[in-house]
C-alpha cells in the first residue's frame, strides 16, 4: 500500500496489515497470565520451531537466512532475487518445490520482513512457517495437476514492495497465488477471495469445518502481498488465522470506527507484544491441515486445465 495509507488505525498487522499508526498497544488481556500453548503433535512442534527460528533472527537478512536454511533441507535450489526500491535494496527468496516444469504454477508466498518492534513472530514468521510446512508436504506428495513454488517477499512492511517487484519485473504469472499473513492463533480461517464462487472458497469451507475451524471469506481484508498480484489482474487469494470475534473489530477500525476493545491482533502486531508468547501452534496446524486439503481438492478439480478452476 502507499505510505499515505499508513496512518489508518487498521494497519497494525504488517503481514495482515501493511503498516500502521495506532494507540499504544496494551498487553493482550487474554494472554496476560496464560502460558503459550504446548505443541500437541509433531507437526505443531516442527512448525513452532520454524516460527521461533525466524523470529529469533537479529534482522530481516537473518530471517531470510533462516528460511533459506530450512528450504535447503528439502534439497531444493533457493534463488535470491534482488530488487531496488525507494527504501533501498531488497531480496526476495524463490524456490521450486515439486511438479512438472510444464504444469500450471501454484505459487505460495509470505512476507519475511518485520517491523522494528517485537520479534515479528505473528507478523510474519507465522505465515512464512506455513509456507515452509506446505512446501514440505507438497514435496512429499506432489499435486496432480500443478507444480508448486514458494516465495518469501521482502519489504512488505514498507508497502508490498517485494511482491510488487516480482510482478513488475516479469515474474511468471501463476495459475494461482496463495498468500499467508498473520497465522498465529484463533478459530477462524480468514480468507481474502475476490470472487465468492472461487473454487478455493468452497473447498476451504469444507476442510476448515473438518479441522474444527470456521471460515470467513470475502473481499474485506487488510492489504498485504496478494494485492500486488490482483493489481496486475493475476489470480490471488490470501489466508490468515485469527479469532472469529476479531474480524469485525479489525474491519471497523479500518473504516474509521475502532471498537471499544481492540482485537488481539491490533494489540499484538507492530508492537513489542509480537513475540512467541502469542503463538498457538496447535491452532496453526489445524489451519495448515485445512488449507492443504483445500488446495488438493482445488488441484484435483482442475483436472489438468491450464487455468485452475475458480481462478480469474
Confidence of residue 90 (pLDDT cuts 50, 70, 90): very high
CA dist., res. 135 & res. 96, Å (int): 9
CA distances from 269 to 30, 145, 159, 211, 236 (A): 15, 37, 16, 26, 24
Tell me the mean pLDDT in the region 212-216.
98
- Average pLDDT over the chain reads 88
What grid cell was written down for 125? Answer: 514468521
Of the candidates 163, 180, 152, the one whose C-alpha atom is nearest the C-alpha of residue 294 is 180
Q: Does the structure show a pLDDT above 50 at 21?
A: no
CA dist., res. 227 & res. 35, Å (int): 35
pLDDT digit string, tens, across residues 42-54: 999 999 999 999 9
Q: Give burial (CB, 10 Å; 0-12/13-18/19+) of 173.
A: middle
Of the candidates 293, 118, 138, the one whose C-alpha atom is nearest the C-alpha of residue 206 is 293
Confidence of residue 186 (pLDDT cuts 50, 70, 90): very high
CA dist., res. 190 & res. 197, Å (int): 16
Of the candidates 174, 189, 288, the one whose C-alpha atom is nearest the C-alpha of residue 228 is 174
Domains for the chain: give ranges and CATH numbers: 3-302 (3.40.630.10)
- The H-assigned helical ranges of 155-277 are 161-168, 199-210, 226-231, 247-254, 264-268
Amino acid at each position: 500500500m502507499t505510505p499515505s495509507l499508513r496512518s489508518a488505525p487498521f494497519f497494525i498487522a504488517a503481514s495482515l496489515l501493511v503498516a500502521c499508526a495506532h494507540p499504544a498497544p496494551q498487553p493482550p488481556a487474554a494472554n496476560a497470565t496464560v502460558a503459550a500453548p504446548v505443541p500437541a503433535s509433531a507437526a505443531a512442534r516442527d512448525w513452532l520451531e520454524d516460527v521461533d527460528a525466524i523470529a529469533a533472527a537479529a534482522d530481516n537478512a537473518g530471517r531470510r537466512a533462516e528460511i533459506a536454511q530450512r528450504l535447503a533441507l528439502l534439497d531444493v535450489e533457493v534463488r535470491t532475487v534482488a530488487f531496488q526500491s525507494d527504501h533501498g535494496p531488497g531480496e526476495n527468496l524463490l524456490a521450486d518445490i515439486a511438479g512438472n516444469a510444464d504444469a500450471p504454477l501454484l505459487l505460495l508466498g509470505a512476507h519475511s520482513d518485520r517491523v522494528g518492534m517485537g520479534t515479528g513472530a505473528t507478523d510474519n514468521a507465522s505465515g512464512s512457517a506455513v509456507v515452509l510446512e506446505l512446501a514440505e508436504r507438497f514435496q512429499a506428495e506432489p499435486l496432480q495437476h500443478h507444480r508448486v513454488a514458494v516465495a518469501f517477499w521482502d519489504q512488505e512492511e514498507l508497502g508490498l514492495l517485494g511482491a510488487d517487484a516480482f510482478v513488475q519485473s516479469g515474474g511468471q504469472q501463476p495459475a494461482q497465488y496463495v498468500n499467508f499473513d498473520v497465522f498465529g492463533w484463533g478459530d477462524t480461517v480468514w480468507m481474502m477471495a475476490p470472487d465468492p464462487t472461487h473454487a478455493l472458497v468452497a473447498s476451504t469451507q469444507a476442510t476448515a469445518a473438518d479441522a474444527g475451524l470456521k471460515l470467513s471469506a470475502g473481499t474485506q481484508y487488510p492489504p498485504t502481498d496478494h494485492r500486488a498480484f490482483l493489481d496486475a489482474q493475476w489470480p490471488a487469494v490470501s489466508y490468515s488465522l485469527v479469532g472469529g470475534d476479531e474480524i469485525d473489530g479489525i474491519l471497523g477500525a479500518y473504516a474509521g470506527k475502532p471498537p471499544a476493545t481492540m482485537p488481539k491482533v491490533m494489540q499484538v502486531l507492530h508492537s513489542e507484544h509480537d513475540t512467541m508468547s502469542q503463538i498457538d501452534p496447535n491452532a496453526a496446524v489445524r489451519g495448515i491441515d485445512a488449507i492443504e486439503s483445500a488446495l488438493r481438492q482445488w488441484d484435483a478439480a482442475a483436472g489438468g486445465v491450464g487455468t485452475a478452476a475458480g481462478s480469474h
